[in-house]
Amino acid sequence: MTKCHSGFSALPQFHNLQELRHSASLATKVFIQRDYTEGTVCKFQTKFPAELDSRIERSLFEDTVKTLNNYYAEAEKIGGQSYLEGCLACATAYVIFLCMETRYEKVLKKISKYIQEQNEKIYAPRGLLITDPIERGMRVVSFFSLQSDVLNAVEVYKSQTAVTIITDGEDTGLPERRTVRLSFV
């Protein structure tokens, strides 16, 4: 199994959605905003945006957003488990957080698995992808559509040692051409 040093491995399979997601920056994006009617708990609006009208069924979209909202509600629930975690952590002067994962972090892992699964099963076949809200500061769930020329750029890397990828510049956010040299060991 070859491994390259640039931060991502040469994958045997096509359609690795992580790579597609990072590369699909030329497409239009739709942002689902937060719903603050119940206070500062993390909840997203379930109102169906007009731009997605022809791309995805309303019920699927609402299901996804409602499930995400349920996950976040579970993470932020103030009850027996959160008290126990808080008291235990306080008793150890919060040193325990250096070794233990908090309940919220566990739920976040579940959420990212759920989003990946939704992308694979429902959204990618319709040419859409969802980003995990944690990557946008929990402000928005963004949907964007894949363009075929961007998919081509990703496909190229399978056979080359250098590849041009079009990604979001992390500080500018505008599409940038980056050429990455892969070294194989």
Positions in 125-164 near other proteins (CB under 8 A): 127, 134-140, 142-148, 151-153, 155-156, 159-160, 162-164
Sequence-ordered strand ranges (E) for the chain: 29-32, 128-130, 141-145, 162-168, 175-181
| Residue 63 binding other proteins, by CB under 8 A | no
Backbone angles phi, psi at 72, to 5 degrees: -65, -35
| Residue 38 binding other proteins, by CB under 8 A | yes
- Retrieve residue 130's tokens: 């969802």
Q: Are strands 141-145 and 29-32 parallel, antiparallel or unpaired?
A: antiparallel
| Residue 39 binding other proteins, by CB under 8 A | yes
Nearer to other proteins, 118 or 143 (CB): 143
CB 73, min distance to other proteins, A:
11
Report H helices in 43-143.
58-75, 80-91, 103-118
Nearer to other proteins, 13 or 37 (CB): 37
- Retrieve residue 108's tokens: 């976040």
| Residue 59 binding other proteins, by CB under 8 A | no
Which residues inside 162-181 make contact with other proteins, applying CB under 8 A? 162-181
| Residue 68 binding other proteins, by CB under 8 A | no
**Cα gap 20→16, rounded to integer Å:** 7
| Residue 13 binding other proteins, by CB under 8 A | no
| Residue 11 binding other proteins, by CB under 8 A | no
Which residues inside 100-119 make contact with other proteins, applying CB under 8 A? 102-105, 108
Q: Could you tell me if 170 and 25 are in contact, meaning their C-beta atoms sit under 8 angstroms apart?
A: no
